[in-house]
Amino acid sequence: MIRPSLARERSLWRGGMERIAGVDEVGVAPLCGAVVAAAVVLRPGCRMITGVRDSKTLSAAQRERLAPLIRRRAVAIGVGAASVPEIDRLNIYHATHLAMRRAIARVGEHDHVLVDGLRIAGFEADVGPYTAIVDGDALCYSIACASVIAKVVRDRMMARLAARYPAYGWDRNAGYATREHRAALFEHGPSPFHRRSFVTVQAALVGQQLGLGLSDDDDAPVDAVEGVLHDAAWLEAETSTIQLQAAGAGA
């Protein structure tokens, strides 16, 4: 198993840069819910927390155990998201980068950004100097920390939504296109939190409309709109809590 290192952060620290933000996102592939990104700034010369690695290789229990440790050790943490309407309007590629920019903005001043993935057109103009690292969540410690924080935040958000829409099993699949989720989607139709720009959701929506005689012009119910606003407010509160915890630990 590949384990992340501080090699890239140490190289930048030796060059006189102190506030290095590791950035990662979670939730690109799911059929529903926001895409969430986190940015984590570590103290120069810090020691790694045992067990931190790419969040995809960790169990939910391991991530929940590690997240508060990361929050206590970090100098700053920022969480950003792009909503389902933003995903449908911008496409998931651009919405993901929007979530990353929002997360980076929340950590305040920074000297350099380490981001998981390939280089992003126009990204430097928004976030300043950055390095794109393919498989960064597996190779780079600060990015791995960000992947854990982002995953924990998004999984909690999906668990809250699962309580309101239990048919889709979001507390178990986090919105990913599992067999259970796809079957429920075609049986019950899309919820207000499904990404209508995704082909699988479009197919389910067409099937539902044909079955019920509905058209694309039908308005979403008022409670669906209120639900979007409610979850946006929850995400904002969750983000503020993480930032306060990180600020207190870094003081």
If asked whether residues 140 and 176 sit together in one domain, one would say no
If asked whether residues 64 and 144 sit together in one domain, one would say yes
Inside any domain, residue 241: no
Q: Please give the residue range of the domain that contains residue 172.
A: 164-228
Inside any domain, residue 130: yes
Number of domains in the chain: 2
Residues whose CB is less than 8 angstroms from the CB of residue 90 and which lie 6 or more positions away in sequence, other chains included = 82, 98
| pLDDT one digit per residue (tens) for the chain, 251 residues | 789 999 999 999 999 999 999 999 999 999 999 999 999 999 999 999 999 999 999 999 999 999 999 999 999 999 999 999 999 999 999 999 999 999 999 999 999 999 999 999 999 999 999 999 999 999 999 999 999 999 999 999 999 999 999 999 999 999 999 999 999 999 999 999 999 999 999 999 887 666 544 444 444 433 443 444 455 555 656 665 565 555 555 54
Intra-chain end-to-end CA distance of the chain, in Å: 34
Please give the angle made by the CA atoms of 42, 110 and 6, to the nearest 5 degrees.
35
Instruction: Record the tokens describing residue 226, joined without a space.
Output: 């209120």
If asked whether residues 147 and 110 sit together in one domain, one would say yes
